[in-house]
Structure 1
Amino acid sequence: MDETGINLLKYLRSKTQVDLDTFDITAGRLIHNPKPKAVGQFGQCVDCTSNQYEYYTELAKPSRKDILQRTIEVTAGLHGQFSEVTFDELGVEVGAVLLAAEMVPAFTGNLHLMVNPNYAYSRTKVVEAAKRFYRLFALINPSFPSSRLVIKVPATWEGLQACHDLQAFKIKTLGTTLFSMEQAILAGEAGCVSISPFVHSLRILVDPEYKDPHPAYYLSAQAQRWYRRQSLPTKVKSCSTVGVDELLELAGIDALTIVPDDLRALQSTYRDANEVSQMSIVRNGAQSDDKIEHVSYIDDEERYRADFEKADEGRAKAKTAEAIDIFCGYQSKAEDVVRKARGQ
């Protein structure tokens, strides 16, 4: 291994908060390996994020039969307290909480759990789902501080209005499936502690051969500059990147959610320091895209929907809907795993 130049993971951590994007316990154990020179070890991350893809893939693994069985047992004991949802839906949420508990040693900051994406267009249902996650954590893992729990909510009009409502319950939220400045502005007004702008369409998750012809390379930096100019505390956590170079291009953004394979690649790669520093579009990006008039959407649904409809020539709305649909598909798959495990 050529170790001339700067280590890419060390460099990225000097510019950006590095978050872990997985609920894979094997990756979590690797991060928390107590041996200082363990092969592939890349140290604790700050936050840990998850979604329905993680819940499904982990609960469906034959190697995770123990946690799936535990999920069934705990859900059976708690369903009477949460009769507003089906056993299988509650089971996915319980499974998420149990999986999260195993990941705690791998990160030092906040834990992100995603509400059922089928509720993306229901303000009331999102509020109920977020409050339910908080209750489940208090029942299943009471030692984990609620102050470290963040609920991921699809960045629809209804979802972000729910985030605004959840402030009254001191529930932290993140706006996800976000592809436009209109969504970013509304999320900031709604009080989201952070947003996750997607660089690429979520289609890359289900179709590795797909190449997004219109990636949102500059959205993260633009949103970050907007929040700072408006003195909003909302942070930007970029996601849905492809490869190491795109992560380096986003150096300087508030945070990056990174999958284990990319963490390994960063940890094992060295490059010329000057070359790497010149890659950042956050530091070197043009400022012309910041000439957005001051706008407020929080109390103006009609204007928000009209502006969002046109964002990126309509692609932002289409990508948001597509991402929500993909997550709904994994929600259904996860519920099927729970259903089959209990013999239904």
Structure 2
Amino acid sequence: MSASLSVLAQISALVKIDTDSLDPGVAQRLGPFEDMTSNQAIAYQQAIQPENERLIREAVKEVQEVHANSGEGPDVYLRELLDVVSVKLAYLVSPHLKGKILVQTSPAFAYDTEKTIAHARRLVALFDAHAIPSSRVCVKIPSTAEGLLACKVLESSEPRIRTLGTILFSVEQARAAAQAGCTNISPYFHELRVHIDKKFQVPAAEKPTLDIIADIIAALKGTKTHVKPAGFITVPEAISLARLRPDNLTISAKLLQELATLPAVPETDLAEIKSQIGPRTSDVDYLANGGAHLKEAFINDPEISRRVVDAVEIFGGFERQVLEFLRSGEVGKEWDGKSGWLPFDQRASPSSA
């Protein structure tokens, strides 16, 4: 064991590391990373940084030029503006990646297959327009029945759009994602609320999350779907997950920096935990009949269902926050569909966006 080695370097030698951040500074200092992943919360946190004001103004100008005579409403403009901002932020991180950029479809469409498909295709087209080919893009989609049905269409379409099943907490969701042909899944270690509410107490689970993720890795062994655990927040959690030897680990900027400053641990602390389960097969087609069996699995496990619903709502809240930021003040101004930009305080009604 080298005395100069950090825990991050040790884990990186065992498992591919993804940065769960749109901060190019973190990627430059600690990368290169395999992939970069983002979501509405991460987009909001990065969009409000003062150094990105110019980038947002450029995005506003781009969308204004595209829709100058379209007659489309402000909700259309704001959603497209958020997509362009997300693509531009991701572009800054792309030089420090070996693999793909991951961007998340709108949580507002989590229970609508067709809208999710349309949004995913729009995101990929925007990346292509900003010199990032579709081969470097993977679209994150909530692992609801409707979301995974969208993944199935996107993965089997021509051209193929690679997908990742996110907001995933159960083996049933993982199996459904593999049946959909998802390129990746990200099982969450903690439910999403843990990351935004320090007072939130994690409900007691009958089976520890680490065991569930181990079961997911075993269940998907031999499939083409890669397992990339996410949503963990401590060094011991990162070490425990690395011992499972998933395909990738998705690590937040804060935890990446902490791992990079910690000296190496004994190699035995990172010894592989070999699954005693072995690959599991299932005869259940979770996506048949509009995802009926997956929906039934949610009904049979109210705790998993609660976590999924809560995560969709939380991401939706962050999406509304970033949309509000983009249309307020001097940076984002609302599109009235006809004459140009309307300042925030001149909106026709609070429900117009």
> After TM superposition, is the score higher than 0.5?
yes
Q: Does 1:57 align with 2:59?
A: no
Unpaired runs of 5+ in structure 2?
334-342, 345-353
- Worse overlay, 120-129 or 8-17: 8-17
The verdict on how the C-alpha distance between 1:334 and 1:302 changes in structure 2, with shifts beyond 3 A counting, is same
The answer on 1:297 being equivalent to 2:297 is no
* Deviation by residue 1:8-51 (Cα, 9 ceiling, x = unmatched): 112211221100100123323xx2xxxxxxxxx32311100000
Contact persistence 1:51–1:114 (CA under 8 A): yes
Which secondary structure does the structure 1 equivalent of 2:30 belong to? coil
SS in 2 for 1:241: coil
TM-fit CA distance, 1:5: 8.5
Match for residue 19 of structure 1? Answer: 18
Distance change >3 Å, CA 81–CA 226, structure 1 → 2: farther
TM-aligned CA distance change 1:191 to 1:331, over 3 Å: same
User: Aligned partners of 1:241, 1:10: CA distance in 2, in Å?
Assistant: 18
Question: Paired residue for 1:233?
Answer: 224
Q: Does 1:221 align with 2:179?
A: no
* Aligned-pair CA distance for 1:292: 6.7
- Counterpart CA distance in 2 for 1:270 and 1:105 is 27
The amino acid across from 1:297 in the alignment is Y
Partner of residue 165, structure 2? 175
> Per-residue CA shift, 1:198-240, capped at 9, x if unaligned?
0101002211333423362223222221111xx3100011100
Alignment-mate amino acid for residue 20 of structure 2: D
Q: Is the 8 A contact 1:6 1:273 kept in 2?
A: no
Q: Distance in 2 between matches of 1:5 and 1:66?
A: 39
**Residues 27 and 271 from structure 1, CA distance in 2 versus in 1: closer, same or farther, beyond 3 angstroms?**
closer
Counterpart-to-counterpart distance in 2, 1:54 and 1:82: 31
The aligned counterpart of 2:318 is 330
Aligned match of 1:117: 107
- The CA distance in 1 between the partners of 2:24 and 2:32, in whole Å, is 13
Aligned partner (choices 244, 247, 269) of residue 235 of structure 2? 244
From 138, 162, 168, the equivalent of 2:150 is 162
Which residue of 259, 265, 287 maps to 1:266? 259
CA distance in 2, matches of 1:26, 1:277: 28
SS of the aligned residue for 1:266 comes to: helix
**Distance in 1 (alpha carbons) for counterparts of 2:21 and 2:5:** 26
Query: CA RMSD, aligned part only?
Result: 2.3
| Alignment partner, residue 348 of structure 2 | none
Deviation per residue, 1:237-292 (Å, 9 max, x gap) = 110002111011011111111112211222222244244124x5xx245539x767
- Identify which of 18, 27, 30 aligns with 1:42: 30
Matched, 1:102 2:101: no
Q: What is the DSSP-based 3-state SS (H/G/I as helix, E as strand, rest coil) of the residue aligned with 2:223?
A: coil
Partner of 2:63: 75
| Stretch deviating more after TM superposition (176-185 or 268-277) | 268-277
Q: Please, what TM-score do these two structures have when normalized by structure 2?
A: 0.85
Cα distance in 2, alignment partners of residues 110 and 308 from structure 1: 31
Query: Partner of 2:54 in structure 1?
Result: 66
Q: Residues 211 and 276 from structure 1, CA distance in 2 versus in 1: closer, same or farther, beyond 3 angstroms?
A: farther
1:82–1:200 Cα change, 3 Å: farther
Counterpart Cα distance in 2 of 1:271 and 1:211: 31
Cα deviation, residue 6, structure 1: 5.5
Instruction: Give how far 1:190 is off.
Output: 0.4
Contact 1:18 1:255 in 2 (8 A): yes
The alignment partner of 1:217 has SS state of helix
Counterpart residue identity of residue 231, structure 2: S
- Cα deviation for residue 293 of structure 1 reads 4.5
TM-aligned CA deviation for residue 92 of structure 1: 0.5
Q: What runs of 5+ residues in structure 1 fail to find an aligned partner?
A: 32-40
Larger mean Cα displacement after TM superposition, 171-180 or 200-209: 200-209
Farther off after superposition, 97-106 or 267-276: 267-276
CA distance in 1 between partners of 2:77 and 2:100 (Å):
27
Distance 2:201 2:181 in 1: 33
The secondary structure found in structure 2 opposite 1:45 is coil
Task: Name 1:37's counterpart in structure 2.
Answer: none
Q: Write the distance in 2 (CA, Å) between the matches of 1:106 and 1:82.
A: 39
3-state SS of paired residue (2:127):
helix
Counterpart-to-counterpart distance in 2, 1:9 and 1:82? 51
CA contact (8 A) 2:7 2:265 kept: no
Same amino acid, percent of matched pairs: 27
Secondary structure, aligned partner of 2:151:
helix
C-alpha contact 1:175 1:196 (8 A) present in aligned 2: yes
The separation in 1 between residues aligned to 2:128 and 2:17, in whole angstroms, is: 27
CA deviation after TM superposition for structure 1 residue 315, in Å:
1.0
3-state SS of 1:212 partner: coil
